[in-house]
A = this chain, B = another copy of it.
Amino acid sequence: MKHPTDMKRGPNDPGLENPGRRTMLLGSAGAMAAVSLLGFTPLARGEEPKTLPDYVAWKERNALILHSANTMETQRGAIGQGVITSSDRLFVRNNLPAPSEEIVADRDGWEVNIEGVKNPRALTIGELKTMGVTTVASVLQCSGNGRAFFPHGASGTQWSVGAAGCVMWTGVPLKTVVEALGGPVDGMKYITSTGGESLPDGIDPKTIMVERSVPLHALDTAMLAWEMNDEPLPLTHGGPLRMVVPGFYGVNNVKYVKNVAFTETQTDAKIQASGYRIRDVGKKGAPDQPSMWEMNVKSWVTAPLETARAGRNMIYGVAFGGTKSLDKVEVSTDGGQSWKQAQFLGPALGPYAWRPFVLAADLPAGEHRIVSKATDMVGNSQPEGRTENERGYGHNGWKDHGVTITVS
């Protein structure tokens, strides 16, 4: 029904309708130079190569839309109805080119510095593995998932729905590590993580480095993960070690993490200071704008996508509450005029995981607009529309995320 090899991009993928959109990583001229220098060449329609770049060659090609060498989206039809996303179908979004495979040659030898604690020190993964372990299911989603639906042409990768997946992370709770080092220094308000990418010469590191700060309360759930889906964390997804902040947007889950600091203020790296901020269309990014931290409640339909036979059909999708468990998902087959409650499919894996859902619906011949709307345990529901914002972040409006199918 949804095997990746059966899937192709359909008319409900907005990317097809907007082949000319800008797909640059960053907005400023300086950053555009960096993009070019780093080899980020956005792909236009029809340019998608048949094979994947080497560092993602193990992925299921047919499950992915290849936006660029560093951005790959899971086809809507390949998302499936599973509680966990298979690693080979999971989206890829790298802010910088991935480091060499050499960094996963000796996984246990990888070091991470822990700073801003009473007894700062470097710890190897080998040491972390003896300190404690937890396994948490969490949705990994790019802040710009759904960007393609913004009519103003938000710059960046034109993600539709597939810059998201739900995976199992295994690693040590950050709290366990920090407590062993005496706890955070008094007065610290953020956890600031730095990625292990190599930075090119000739560019101010602050404009390009991946360094993200999250509020201190994330210490209750953050982890340093060395496994994903019961396999050593692939380089592609940040191996050998990744900061995972369950329920937070992807960018906060810093890959190849080499430094974790408890800090009084947020980092002044561009990716934090002005990047990943909710700001009005046309406005520049600034530190006083909301940062892309906790994810909001969201859902979308995954099947059927284009056509269906008249009669009883099963409508499938996925839904999640960010940092809160879901209460319900409703589905409409008339574009939102009337709603029916869907059933959750499969076991609940905790507040940070997504839940596949299904609704049996009798569909007569004709065109139907199918939309879904999730509500979390404290009553947050998806809005109908978008919160318009310059970079097209955090879109969870149910209207844009629906699909139109032809029933015959």
Interface residues of A (CB under 8 A from B): 1, 3, 80-84, 86, 129-130, 132-137, 168, 170, 227, 229-232, 311-314, 345-350, 353, 356, 358, 360
Contacts and interface: CB of A to CB of B under 8 A. Distances in A.
Residue with the highest number of chain B CB atoms closer than 10 Å, among A133, A168, A230, A231 = A230
Contacts of A136: 346
Among all A-B residue pairs, the 10 with the closest Cβ atoms: A82-B230, A135-B346, A347-B349, A80-B230, A130-B312, A135-B345, A347-B350, A3-B232, A133-B358, A137-B347
Most buried by B among A133, A312, A348: A133
Contacts of A347: 135, 137, 347-350, 353
Given A81-B170, A84-B84, A170-B345, 18 more contacts: A1-B129, A3-B231, A3-B232, A80-B231, A82-B230, A83-B135, A83-B168, A84-B168, A84-B230, A86-B229, A86-B230, A130-B311, A130-B313, A130-B314, A130-B360, A133-B345, A347-B348, A347-B353
16 contacts: A3-B232, A82-B135, A83-B168, A84-B84, A84-B168, A86-B230, A86-B231, A130-B312, A133-B314, A133-B358, A135-B356, A137-B346, A170-B346, A347-B348, A347-B350, A347-B353
A168 B130 contact: no
Given A137-B347, A347-B347, A132 B360 contact: yes
B346 A81 contact: no
Give the oligomeric copy count. 2
A243 to B, nearest CB: 19
Contacts of A82: 135, 168, 229-230
A81 B130 contact: no
A81 B135 contact: yes
A182 to B, nearest CB: 19
A121 to B, nearest CB: 17
Nearest to A358: B133
Nearest to A6: B232
A137 B349 CA distance: 12
Given A81-B135, A347-B349, A129 B314 contact: yes
Contacts of A349: 347, 349
Contacts of A170: 81, 345-346
A314 B168 CA distance: 19
Contacts of A81: 135, 170, 227, 230
A167 B349 CA distance: 15
A81 B132 CA distance: 14
A227 B346 CA distance: 12
Contacts of A360: 130, 132
A70 to B, nearest CB: 25
A402 B49 CA distance: 51
The CB with the most chain B CB atoms within 10 A, among A3, A136, A353, is that of A3
A349 B84 CA distance: 12
A12 B346 CA distance: 36
A150 to B, nearest CB: 30
A232 B130 contact: no
Contacts of A346: 135-137, 168, 170
Nearest to A129: B314
